[in-house]
Each structure stands twice: as structure tokens, then as C-alpha cells.
Amino acid sequence: MTKEREILNLAADPSVETVAFWELERLSEAERALLLMRVESDLSHFVAGAAPIIEAVKREGDAALVRFAREFDKAEIAQCGIAARPEDFDEAFSTLDRELIETLEYAADNIRRFHEAQLPDEIWMKEIKPGVLVGERYTPVDSVALYSPRGKGSFPSATLMTAIPAAVARVPMPIILTPAGPDGKIDAATLVAAKLAGVEHVYKAGGAVAVAAAAFGTQTVPRCCKFEGPGSPWVAAAKQLLHGRIGSRVSAGPSESIVMADESADPYLAALDLLIESEHGSDSSAFLVTWSPEIAAASRKAIPTLWQGMGERRKGYSRDVLGGPRGGVVLARDRRQAYDFINDYAPEHLQIHSKAPLDHLGQIRNAAEILLGEHAPGSIANYLMGPNAVLPTGGAASYSSGLGVHDFLKASSIGHITAEGYAEMAPRTHRFASYEGFDAHANAVSHLREGNR
């Protein structure tokens, strides 16, 4: 049977009809462009709703946090209970499963080791001309608010991924904001993760409320310079409205991934890893990209069987995603066409299924995270491998990076010029300043500098 005939037969196989199949060679430019598109969230509704929330927090402080916790999180908290107490941390450690605590400790150690390796030298200097030394000095941001969402569950992994690089950067005042549960308490695993990361100030606030509390400060929550961490559209909307008041990276959108599989890949394992990001939500994106018709056919056939091992909610999300148009199996003409598609897509997560993944690494320019080989599934990376799992989405990996120590540092340029260096640079500076019409600039490097000596 020819490869082409196998593909045609597979397309007609009812067992895989719910898994989208895309052949790049047969797509028009417009159809290919549609594959590159993500869900584009229109934040106008959220912006309109977040504006009065922000104003209330600015005006009322803690009272607004208590009121909104009751309204949005169905949690009864008192103003004196907004901040986590030492006994809350003690209770979390005493009640949380010991094996889970050990897992959090293991993850924290790996994440810390990675970000310590990422930490730049505090200062560097280089002589670029005789007597002219230039460099940079890195200092931590004074204060940061780190967000741990709770809308679809509890995510202590987000706490570790945001708090540890802030701690490694030696931020003087890192705090964590997270919604209270219906019992009015902070998730125990989040408290344990915060303590393991080295952050002891945790406050109950979620969504736009949390962003506003960090931007303006309240009677309990300190005002912060930056706000970092994944969040809902309400968080994104509040960050947009408060731009300039509090710093932040571009908000991450729905999860997305590409699994690239070459001829040496195990199609079953490639399919197994494809499902990882597809279960986050119906707005996620997940593609398996290969130039092997055999891999495409076998992986696509394995997916419905793998769905049977998932709960109904997550399986429903995965079926929605892999049914297209933001997911499924993509067959390229050759490896060059596959590389081009991946680089154009610029995925949040990329896993290379190959017996020799390093052979492909040099061809990938745009991917926020690149996992090499069949033993590096995205789930390990999401939780405890070490590199940060707060990553750019929506194609932003073509120009930005994952969260890291650098997001909690700022660089001051440094310059030192000796008399020898001044003698070389002054006349050139005078010429430059005179051309641009800046008299004081020119005078500062003229004979006037010697006038009062």
C-alpha cells in the first residue's frame, strides 16, 4: 500500500474521524494561516467589568477585598484574615499529604537550581577603548506580587514557578496573592509551596481584585512594583487597565503545544504527549507535526484509545481541541516544511519525539520551551523539571521568553571614563552635539570644562 493510499484510508477510518488531519501540501495560504491562529480573547467585556472593581479596591482597600471574596469566590473572610498567619502555614504542613510535600520539595529544588544557573553576575565591566569602561549592574525589583490562580483548581506549581525566581533574584519584598476557597482558607499546598520558595507573605485576593490590591496597596496588602503569574481574562484586563501603575509581562493566553515526531518516533508516545496540553480547555491548541505518513496514521489512530483513560471533563476538552481547527495531526511534505510551520506557529510548548532530537534542535528558532526526546513529556516540565512553566503564548514566543530571574531584576548601565578616555571622546562628542543643536551638551565637552580649574 502506498503512503498516499494509507493516508486516504485513514481519513475514512471511523475510529479516528474525530481527530483532525491536516496535510500542509494541500492547504492554501489562507487555510494554513487559519491553523496558525489561536483563540483571540476579546477583553472588552472583562475590561468593562474590571474597571469598577479596580476603583472599589483603590477607594475601599481591605473592605473591598472582603466584599469581593464573598461575591466572586463565595468565601467569607474577615479583614483581619486577609493575610496568612504563621499558624496557617503550620496547619498546611501538618495536614498536607507527606508524599505531596516531598514532591513539592523535589520540584522546588529543581526549579531553584535552574534559576540559580540563570542568575547573571551582579556586575560586569569591559574596557571598550583606552580609559573607557562600560558595563551593567543588576539589582532586584523592590517588590513583586506573584499570582497563584484558583479558578479551575489549586495550582501550587504556579506558586513555585513564580516565587522561586523572585527569591533567587533576592527581591526584598515578594508577596503571593491567591483567592480563598469556599472555606475562607488558602489552599494548603499553595502555602507549603510559598514557604518552600521562601515567601512568607500570602494574601487572599483573586482576579482583578488581586491586581488592583497590588497596584494601589490596601491596609493589609502592600503596594508592589510588579505583578507576575498566570491568570484569567479578569487578571489580563486589570493588568491592561493598570499598565503604567504596576509593571507586568504580557498576559499568557490558553495553553498550546506542538509535538514534532520524525521517522524514528514512537507514534503511541507521540500521541500520548499530544494530549497533555489539549486537556487544559476547549480554547487550547495542540498539534502533532510529522513528515512521516506512517507516524501520522499510527498516532492519529492511537488518540481515541488514549481518550478512554481520561475523565469526561478533560476528555471533552481534548476532543474539542484535537477535532480542529486548533489541533490534530499535521503532515508536512518534508522536515523543512515541518520546521517552517513550527517556527511560524512559535508554540508555547514544543516536544521533539526522535531518537536523535538534537539533530532537529538547531532548526527551531521560535518556541518558548523545547523538550527533547520521548522521555521529556510536558507534564514533567510543567511541574518539576526546573525551567519555568510560565511561558508566552499566542505566537509571542517569536519575540519573548518564559518567566525567569531576569523578570525580577533590572539593569543599570555603568560608565567610567578616565582622563585618557575623555581626551579621545570629548571632541567627537562636541561634534555630535553641535550637529544636533544641543549647546549645553557641546559646552560640557569644550574648553569650558577647564575654565575654573
* pLDDT tens digits, one per residue of 198-225: 999 999 999 999 999 999 999 999 999 9
Looking at the chain, the whole-number percentage of residues with pLDDT higher than 90 is: 90
Question: What average pLDDT does the structure give for the chain?
Answer: 94
Cα 129 from Cα 132, distance rounded (Å): 5
Q: Give yes or no: 348 in active site.
A: yes
Whether 109 shows a pLDDT value over 80: the answer reads yes
Active-site option among 349, 360, 369, 374: 349
Whether 316 shows a pLDDT value over 80: the answer reads yes
Q: What is the model's pLDDT at position 329?
A: 98
What average pLDDT does range 259-286 have in this prediction? 97
Q: What is the model's pLDDT at position 453?
A: 60
What average pLDDT does range 144-149 have in this prediction? 96
Q: Domains plus CATH for the chain?
A: 3-32+253-399 (3.40.50.1980), 44-123+139-241 (3.40.50.1980), 418-450 (no CATH)
Q: Where are the alpha helices (DSSP H) in 224-282?
A: 233-241, 267-278
Whether 11 shows a pLDDT value over 50: the answer reads no
| The model scores a pTM over 0.85 | yes
Looking at the chain, the whole-number percentage of residues with pLDDT higher than 70 is: 95
Q: What is the model's pLDDT at position 1?
A: 39
Q: What is the model's pLDDT at position 445?
A: 97
Strand order in the sheet with 173-178: 202-204, 173-178, 143-147, 226-228
Q: What is the model's pLDDT at position 41?
A: 67
Active-site option among 256, 277, 279, 348: 348
Q: What is the model's pLDDT at position 253?
A: 82
Whether 171 shows a pLDDT value over 60: the answer reads yes
Q: What is the model's pLDDT at position 450?
A: 83
Q: What is the model's pLDDT at position 139?
A: 98
- Please, which residues have CB within 8 angstroms of residue 292's CB and are 6 or more apart in sequence? 261, 262, 263, 265
Whether 88 shows a pLDDT value over 80: the answer reads yes
Cα 363 from Cα 357, distance rounded (Å): 11
Nearest one of 405, 413, 415 to 140, comparing CA atoms: 405
Q: Give yes or no: 349 in active site.
A: yes
What are the pLDDT digits (tens) for 387-406?
A: 999 999 999 999 999 999 99
Whether 12 shows a pLDDT value over 70: the answer reads no
Cis check: omega of the bond before 387, within 30 degrees of 0: no
